[in-house]
Amino acid sequence: MLRPNRMTPMSAALDTPIALRARALWPRLRTTLVVASVLFLFFSLGWEASHAVLALRIYGAALLALTAFTLFERWPRRLPRWLARWALQVLMVAAVFPPTMAFFYAQSTPPGDPPFYRVEKRIEGFFGLTMMGMLVAPWVATAAVLRQRDARILQAERARGAAERQALDARLRLLQGQVQPHFLFNTLANVQALVDVGSPQAAPVLAALVAYLRAAVPRLDGEPTRIGQELDMARAYLQLMQLRMPDRLQFSVEAEPGTERLHCPPMTLLTLVENAVRHGIDPSLRGGRIDVSVRLAAGRCTARVSDTGVGLQSGSQGLGTGLQSLRERLRLAWGDTAELRLSEVQPQGVAVEVEFPEQR
């Protein structure tokens, strides 16, 4: 099934300038006919002459007023500075009724009868229809102008919002591009170090890296990912790191059922896990443990990565560009509704929590 907002070849073919103008004219025509029908019912209650003639006068004048409103919406192209376009439209809508009603009354006068302005009942009907039209039509025209203004404002806001989203997407992709080489180069540097010292772990680590890249590289395109994919990449990364330092790293990865389908910015969990390895486990002589958990409560998802490494060091200005980049990506994706919290773990270690709205 096609989405309603997706343009099909048939709808694209129908979106010609004439078709677009016709669709824009239909709401005006509908409103004009509704107002004219109300006026017709009002005057028909005490109307003694032909109701067909009354309908012709009212509907004919209403359609001519609509024509004037549409015509002066674009013509003339330039107006004096002291004359607003909307004022010209409203003025011309009101000006349509006296000559139009005079024409209809003159045409409906039987041959040989005196002019309508010399017959008391006919001149009363003329003034009644004319004054009512001149009273109601400008209000309807003013309401239409206000609706047009609101529609233009809404359209401008949507265009501005689309431009802002494009700028945010570009910035988000730039930040993600900074994360991807950061992780890959660090991992390759670790493999190179093992090869340089002739470690027997070099081959298994390299094989694990290849397996990880096969799973991770197709997802590094900046498109929205799900928590389940993030968990798989984090688990693969920790397995890779455990091969590099088997005696110094233990880990666990768990998530509440249902959280795997939630959306999150790419490499969210991986950034937290890599941060825990680099700044918590690696600097520690005895290593430590990393626990990854994902919880869902009250419509908000919380991803937590804690380690028992060296903890926060005195005089530290932060934990590197990884968390700073992640904080910025979260802000771009969710604004003020996302949080990144950093806390100490007793007796030693650091916990980083990322909380963001549930989005499936």
pLDDT digits (tens, 9 = 90+) for 55-75: 999 999 999 999 999 888 888
The two tokens of residue 346 are 């007793």
Last residue of some domain: 145, 162, 179?
162
Angle at 22 between CA 16 and CA 25, to 5 degrees: 145
Task: Looking at the structure, tell me whether residues 158 and 34 fall in a common domain.
Answer: yes
Q: What is the rounded (10 degree) CA torsion for 189, 195, 198, 202?
A: 100
Give me the number of domains the chain comprises: 2
Residue 181 lies in a domain: no
Predicted confidence band of residue 17 (pLDDT cuts 50, 70, 90): low
Residue 4 lies in a domain: no
Residue 5 one-letter amino acid:
N
Residue 223 lies in a domain: yes
Task: Looking at the structure, tell me whether residues 220 and 351 fall in a common domain.
Answer: yes
Residue 169 lies in a domain: no
Task: Looking at the structure, tell me whether residues 157 and 255 fall in a common domain.
Answer: no
Task: Looking at the structure, tell me whether residues 348 and 246 fall in a common domain.
Answer: yes
Position with higher pLDDT, 221 vs 275? 275
Task: Looking at the structure, tell me whether residues 220 and 327 fall in a common domain.
Answer: yes
Structural domain span for residue 40: 9-162
Residue 328: the pLDDT is 80
In whole angstroms, what is the distance from residue 209 CA to residue 192 CA?
A: 12
Residue with tokens 């498109």: 223
pLDDT(210) > 90: no
Q: How far is CA 236 from CA 121, 209, 213, in A?
A: 94, 9, 9
Residue 15: the pLDDT is 47
Q: What is the mean pLDDT of residues 88-96?
A: 91
**Is this model's pTM higher than 0.95 or not?**
no
**Domain CATH number, residue 224:** 3.30.565.10
Predicted confidence band of residue 350 (pLDDT cuts 50, 70, 90): very high
Task: Looking at the structure, tell me whether residues 352 and 203 fall in a common domain.
Answer: yes
Last residue of some domain: 138, 162, 186?
162
Q: What is the mean pLDDT of residues 244-269?
A: 87
